[in-house]
Structure 1
Amino acid sequence: MGFFEYLGRNYDLVLIELLNHIKIIAIAIPIAIGIGVPIGIVVSRSKRASSIALYGAGILMTIPSLALFGYMVVLLAPLKAGIGVTPAVIALVIYSFLPVIRNTVVAVNSVDPRMIEAARGMGMTNWQILFRVRLPLTIPIIMAGVRNAAVMGVSVATIAYLIGARGLGYFIFSGLGRSNFNMVLLGALIVSILGIGTNYGLLALEEIITPRGLKIEREK
């Protein structure tokens, strides 16, 4: 059976596993952003705190993905959630912390102090400065971290098939087990396309949410 013939016969299965794969990423990345960005904002006020946070996130990221999935299975087993989407999502959130927190810290600290002083001179509170000055100016840097986390998540989610989370890993790992190289090639191609599409999709989102003034500055 040729590659395109296999694709035609298994189109429905491809779509199902693609949606399963996207579901894992679509749950994990917003959670990582919702936790990582506030942590990055808080710890950015102190060099010591930011160093500790980044060091901790770095240690978590150096754990091999298979080992991390193994830890999740064992830790969540008493809650009857050790197999499936839940451990996969938690593992992806953990892996996403470093790029999200790191870029948030760098972004917040890169804002020109003169702009902060000008905002204070206009009577803005710390919260107003955060949401009206710091965050709008740091969107491109924070989004770069989100893109890194999302593209990495596409790859890591493939391995989540081994713990029952389904997804595109089915084609790669089942294909290897059956020596069916059409399955392996199909899975690899779709994962690659999904990773590239995720990157450019988030770039388009970044373009939409970036303040107009920053776009004009970049064009210059």
Structure 2
Amino acid sequence: MLQFLQHLKVVLLSIPFSIIISVPIGFFISGKPKLAKIIIYICSILMTIPSLALFGIMVVVLAPVKLGIGITPAILAIMMYSLLPIIRNTYAALNSVSPRMIEAAKGIGLTGQQILFRIKLPLSIPVIMAGVRNAIVLGVSVATYASLVGAGGLGYFIFSGIGRANFLMVLSGALVVSALGIGINMLLMKVEEWLTPRGLKITPVSEERIE
């Protein structure tokens, strides 16, 4: 139970920081395609770094300030890994709004800021939330490496089980990590449904039987 709570703690501390950084960046680059290409490319490079290597890099970078071991390198590594899906989805969502709708909003006198928060943002919520869900599920799996840098978590059971050739220990750790990822994803789907404007929700149409 302690390792489960520690795993959850690492994820819940890292992902909010990633959202706070990623969503504003997505908004900022939404009207700057050249800058967006550079930012997304840099984030893509970060994603190509193997998870374990990124944790190791964080340990080395933070070692001079005596933060190389513990929860700090784990949080930073997961946060960096989570940037791409949120930034990319935010950018794509904001730029997928119909130009005709934006022109109509300008026609009724809305300012650029009003268009962003009253038109673009509500229409973009489903896609942005999809990016957040991907980032969190990714963070849950990557957080298994947190135990290797002294941050604890469910990775303890997986790596300890491998070291002891204990299949049940590895399996239990993997199953709990999977269940945690699925559970958080389902919870966020409910949050996404709650945040999505009613007009964008797809509701089943009842068919009437013609006799």
TM range (shorter): over 0.9
Distance 1:40 1:164, change over 3 A: same
Cα distance in 2 for partners of 1:140, 1:42 equals 19
Aligned to 2:30: 44
The corresponding residue for 1:187 is 173
Does the alignment pair 1:153 with 2:106?
no
Q: Which stretch shifts more, 41-50 or 86-95?
A: 41-50
Cα distance, 1:177 vs structure 2: 1.3
For residue 41 of structure 2, what is the aligned residue in structure 1?
55
Deviates more, 1:176-185 or 1:162-171: 176-185
Q: Could you tell me how far 1:179 is from its partner in structure 2? A: 2.0
1:92 equivalent in alignment to 2:71: no
Aligned runs of 1:1-220 on 2, under 5 Å?
Answer: 15-216=1-202, 219=204
Instruction: Report the counterpart of residue 8 of structure 1 in structure 2.
Output: none
Q: Percent identity?
A: 62
Which letter maps to 1:215? K
Partner-residue secondary structure (3-state), 2:82: helix
Matching residue's letter, 1:212: R
Question: Secondary structure, in 3 states, of the residue corresponding to 2:28?
Answer: helix
- The alpha-carbon deviation at position 120 of structure 1 amounts to 1.9
In 1, the alpha carbon distance for the partners of 2:108 and 2:6 equals 49
Question: Which amino acid in the other structure matches residue 193 of structure 1?
Answer: A
TM-score under structure 2 normalisation?
A: 0.93
The structure richer in helix per residue is 1
Aligned residues: 205
Which segment drifts farther, 173-182 or 100-109? 173-182
Ranges in structure 2 where 5+ consecutive residues have no aligned partner:
206-211
Give, in angstroms, the shift of residue 219 of structure 1. 4.9
Q: Deviations over 1:145-186 (max 9, x none)?
A: 111111111110001110011000011111111222221111
- Cα displacement string for residues 75-99 of structure 1 (whole angstroms, at most 9, x for unaligned residues): 1111111111111111111111111
**What is the CA distance between 1:113 and its match in structure 2?**
1.2
Distance in 2 separating the partners of 1:202 and 1:85: 24
Deviation at 1:212, TM superposition (A): 0.6
List structure 1 runs of 4+ shifted beyond 4 angstroms: none
Cα deviation code 1:2-42 (max 9, x no counterpart): xxxxxxxxxxxxx1111111111111111111111111111
Gaps (5+ residues) in structure 1?
1-14
Distance 2:39 2:204 in 1: 34
DSSP-derived class of the 2:201 partner: helix
